Every structure is written in C-alpha cells, then in structure tokens.
Amino acid sequence: MANKLVMGYWDCPSCSTTGIRGDVHSCPNCGRARGEVKFYMKGHTEGNARKESDLADVEYLTEEQEKDASRNSDWYCSFCHSLNPDTAQNCLSCNASRASSEANYFQMHEALAQREAEHAEPQPVKPKKRIRLLPILLIAALIVGVILFMNANVTRGDYEVAALRWTRSISVQQRRLMEESGWTVPDGGTVTGEHREIHHYDRVLDHYESVPVQRSRRVIDHYETTYTYTDLGNGYYEQVPHEEPVYTTEYYTVTERQPVYRQEPVYQTRYDYSIWRWVNTRTADAAGEGKNAVWPDPGLAEDERESERAAAYLVTIRDTKKGTETDYRLKEEDWLTLNVGERIFITTKRSGSGPYISDEKGEKRMDLLPAR
C-alpha cells in the first residue's frame, strides 16, 4: 500500500498571496501561473519527524484526489518559467511543448540556488575594534607606581641602642636504666622477658557465599510510529512512516558467588628489655646585660653530661622621636659590634616590613630579627 499524500502549499511571488493549495496552478488573486515557487507544509519544519499525536493539522488527500494525483515532480517550462503537472505535455501557461523543457521542480531549485550563490554580495569585513591603550597604560603605570612606592626604603637616624642583653642555656642529660619493649632488642639491651603478641593481620580467604545482585539492561518496551514528509515537487508531500523503538530499563536479580575474607592474626615474639640511655633531665641557664656573655656552670654529676647549647643576643632600640622601645634578636657577631647609647640608622620599607640597621645611605649593616 502506497504512503499517503499530504497537501502542500505555495506563496505567490507577484502579489504576495500566501497559503495557496498545492493542487492550484495559478494564483487565485492575480492569476499568475505557478512558477519559481517553493512548496511547504503548514505548521511543519522540513526534516522533523512527527508522532501520531501531532498529525491533527496534516491535510490528507482524499482517495479520489489520490487517484488523480501524480507522484512525479512538476516540470519547469524554459519559455515562461511556469511549473506544470507531470501529466501535462504542453505548458498550461504558454502551450510550449514539454519536449523543449528539460528541468523539473528540483533541478529548477538547484539552478536558483547556484545563481543566488554566484550573485551574492560579499559580506563586508567588520573593522576590528580599536583597543584604547592609553587608559590601560595609565592604570598599569598607576599600579606599578603604588607597588614601587610601598616597597621603597625609608631610612631614619633618630634611633639609639638602649640596652644589650643575652641569655645562654645548656641542656643536661643523665644516664638512666630504662625499661622498654619491642619486636627487636637494640644493641646494649638486656632481655628481661618475652611473650607472643599479635604483630599484624593477614587477609585470608575464608569461604564463598551466594549473594543476590541487582542488574539492569535496556530493552525495547514498544514501537512508536513517527512520520517524515518528502516533497514530491508537485504541490504534494508523501507521508513516510517509520517504526521507532522505545526503550525502557529492566531490572533483574542474579546470584553471584563472592569471596568472604577473614582477618587472620599473625603472632610474633615481643621482647621486654632494659637498656642504659642518656635522658634530658634539666637545663642550666644564665642571663645578663652588657657584652660579657658567659656560659652557665651546669655542675655535672658523675652520671651526667652536657647536651645542646642555646643562646640569644638581644638589643633594645629606642625611637628617640616617638619615645618607644622595641626588642630585636641579632647574630652574635653583629651584637658584639653595638654599644649602649650608640646612635644608629634603621631602614624599613614604606609597608613597614623588613627593618634592618644601616648606614645613613640605607646600606645594610645587620638584620634585625623578631625577639622570641
């Protein structure tokens, strides 16, 4: 059974009458014969498929109309540029013989498209937008200027050394007999006992068990008919049905054998042992003012020894202009070069970071570190 035919429409290029039925060969308003026109279906976009529920506005030809309708495209008269039905052997407009015309409706549109492409005006090249560089350069220069200003050095000479202080300390260790335990005994240790303990666990296959597992698959639920429409080039369209599968997700359960593991303890021997070790027990401290820094006497007993030494060298700097004092740490070699009452220059950045003692030109003499 042949596919159904659907009524098409065309618009008159002379008087702009629209929606003229495809079985009408002359404009009912101005009488112009159907010529270089493009057929269309109302409410339908070419290439789109329609569902059964979207066919209410489709105008089908009746059985009687289909009997008289040709499924071949119109032929194009080369003399008066009219379109004529396939059944006509002479042009309905100028009576020219069909034998003297070769193009049909589709070939006519190919020729029209080619002519339009050849005579299409070239698209003007849009001028590139000119970027105004001056405002950008001014903003960049302003940012750079602010950065340079904030990082510029400021040197002031209204400072003096108000005090020099120092602290020194010595850590003292004592040799003691320690009771410890471990998986191995270090050199010098004497075993006092041993016992078995869990060192770690191994993952061991215990058994298999059957477990229900849900799976899913995509299956065809039903078929849905959709329709596309082919322009026959004669005022009619052919409705072509398509059977499209509609899918759904189906869930099902399967039984799988899955391994079940257990944590198997692994035992090893753990040792108790005694061992002599040096242990930090106390600190000997000393502090003072001036540059006569000395190390404290730790007063070591027979079972003691010195461990680490630590020292801090502090300077108190007075701002003679503001009357404030600030403590800083110095390296020992720098600290020894200063004297109480000495006038000094300090250089900082405008941001307030990185102060250091300098000469009057801002050349660094020594770093000032935060007092801890």
Whole-number pLDDT of residue 280: 97
Q: How confident is the model at residue 101 (pLDDT cuts 50, 70, 90)?
A: confident
Whole-number pLDDT of residue 140: 79
Structural contact between residues 141 and 331, judged by C-beta atoms closer than 8 angstroms: no
Mapped onto helix, strand or coil, the DSSP state of residue 158 is strand
* Lowest mean per-residue pLDDT among 98-102, 193-197, 217-221, 258-262: 98-102
Percent of the chain with pLDDT over 90: 72
Q: Which two tokens stand for residue 159?
A: 């400072």
Kindly tell me the burial class for residue 69, based on how many C-beta atoms sit within 10 Å of its own C-beta (0-12, 13-18, 19 or more).
buried
Q: What is the pLDDT of residues 30-69, one digit of tens each?
A: 999 998 899 999 888 888 899 988 898 899 999 889 888 8
* Lowest mean per-residue pLDDT among 1-5, 278-282, 312-316: 1-5
Q: Which of 352, 348, 312 is nearest to 332 (CA)?
A: 312
Q: What is the pLDDT of residues 107-165, one digit of tens each?
A: 999 888 888 888 776 666 666 666 677 778 888 778 776 666 555 788 898 999 999 99
Mean pLDDT score across all residues of the chain: 91
Structure letter (DSSP) for residue 100: G
Structural contact between residues 286 and 168, judged by C-beta atoms closer than 8 angstroms: yes
For the chain, which residues make up each domain, given as ranges?
A: 159-172+283-370, 174-222+243-275
Q: Which two tokens stand for residue 186?
A: 């270090």
Q: Report the b/e string of 81-102 with b at 16+ CB within 10 A.
A: ebbbbbeeeebbbeebeeeebe
Which residues 6+ apart lie within 8 Å of 44 measured at CB? 50, 58, 229
Q: Which of 198, 174, 237, 179 is nearest to 21 (CA)?
A: 237
Distance CA 148, CA 290 (A): 40
Q: What is the pLDDT of residues 316-366, one digit of tens each?
A: 999 999 999 999 999 999 999 999 999 999 998 766 567 999 999 889 999
